Amino acid sequence: MLYKPTVVLAFLNELNKRPKKSLSQNFLVDGNIVKKITSFCELKEGEIILEIGPGLGVLTESFLKQKAKVIAIEKDIALAKALKRLDCQLYIGDFFDINLKEILPEEKIKVASNLPYGVATMIICSLLTMGEKFSKMIFMVQKEVAKRICASPNSKEYGFLTLFITFFATPKYLCDVSCNCFFPKPKVTSTIISLEPKIPPFKEGYEEFFLFVKQLFSYRRKMIASSLRKIYGQEKTKIAFSKVNIDPKLRAENLSLEDFIRLFRTFS
């Protein structure tokens, strides 16, 4: 099994390969975590799952044992060549250079990945804008990122990323994963999260909405009325707050997604 540390080391030596820090390569070497992630995916026979950055193929093998069909995207050429031993649909290249609409089937599929820390949020946000393609997403990310994704209003972790995620999906914090479960050991704890894609509140103009949200969080410590006056001027801000039942003394971190949407629509 490729999740045993000694076997992983031997396999990497066969490939004359060392983990690349630039690609955030920390290989999973704990069978219990492999089983947990596979269980969280709730795969049915014949179901299709997209895996980004499969690395040595530890999760890939587990998905295939569930008789799922795997679409894998791997950037590292040496690892991609090794993945050809598995019965999966393999694409070699950077995730951001691959047109998912061209390679994914028409029916809804699932996504699961031990995401590279450096690009995890970018990958998740990119996938969520195609949320109608996916029925379930299971990701392993850095714990600090998971806390931001699953945060609630009035917490220090709550911010732009939280709002973006909850606009497109319902996040759930599943469990933490020790750094001892990886080779090489990262310096941080990881967390497994699930995202259940949902129909967003609106599709037209969501880019403008998130520019609005980003502006408010750029003045995080200021009252929202003060922040909005800087952007829209005193008169427009006064008129807007007369139309919405939101306390102008609140800060961005106190507002729910629904509050942000109401404010955005009023100022628009």
- Which CATH number does the domain housing residue 149 bear? 3.40.50.150
Question: What is the per-residue pLDDT across 204-257, written as a single tens digit (0 to 9) for each?
Answer: 889 999 999 999 999 888 999 999 999 899 999 999 999 999 999 999 999 999
Structure-block tokens of residue 135: 């029925």
Structure-block tokens of residue 101: 């609409």
The answer to whether 218 touches 228, Cβ cutoff 8 Å, is no
Q: Say which residue the tokens 């955005």 belong to.
A: 264
By DSSP bridging, strand 89-92 and strand 169-177 are unpaired
Question: What is the per-residue pLDDT across 129-175, written as a single tens digit (0 to 9) for each?
Answer: 998 899 999 999 999 999 999 999 999 999 999 999 999 999 999 99
Q: Is the pLDDT of residue 3 over 70?
A: no
Q: Is the pLDDT of residue 14 over 70?
A: yes
Between CA 48 and CA 120 the distance in angstroms is 21
The answer to whether 250 touches 225, Cβ cutoff 8 Å, is no
CATH code of residue 254: 1.10.8.100
Once rounded to an integer, what is the mean pLDDT over residues 12-20?
A: 81
Helices (H), the chain: 5-14, 31-41, 58-65, 77-83, 100-103, 120-128, 143-149, 160-168, 206-218, 224-232, 234-241, 257-267
Q: Is the pLDDT of residue 8 over 90?
A: no
Q: Say which residue the tokens 């690009």 belong to.
A: 119
By DSSP bridging, strand 169-177 and strand 190-197 are antiparallel
Between CA 145 and CA 137 the distance in angstroms is 16
The secondary structure of residue 223, as a DSSP letter, is B
- CB under 8 Å to 109, separation ≥6 — which residues? 47, 48, 49, 50, 71, 133, 134, 135
Domain boundary among 172, 197, 222: 197
Residue 258, domain extent: 206-267
**Are 58 and 120 in the same domain?**
yes
Mean pLDDT of the chain: 93
Q: Is the pLDDT of residue 4 over 90?
A: no
**Are 57 and 112 in the same domain?**
yes
Domain boundary among 142, 163, 197: 197
What percentage of residues in the chain have a pLDDT greater than 90?
A: 82
Residue 15 has a pLDDT of: 81
Q: Between the CA atoms of 80, 82, 86 and 91, what dihedral angle is there, to the nearest 10 degrees? A: 10
- List beta partners, residue 120: none
Domain count, the chain: 2
Three-class DSSP category at 36: helix
pTM: 0.93
**Are 89 and 173 in the same domain?**
yes
In degrees and rounded to multiples of 5, residue 149 shows phi and psi of -65, -40
Between CA 125 and CA 96 the distance in angstroms is 12
By DSSP bridging, strand 89-92 and strand 69-74 are parallel
Domain boundary among 141, 167, 197: 197
**Are 192 and 218 in the same domain?**
no
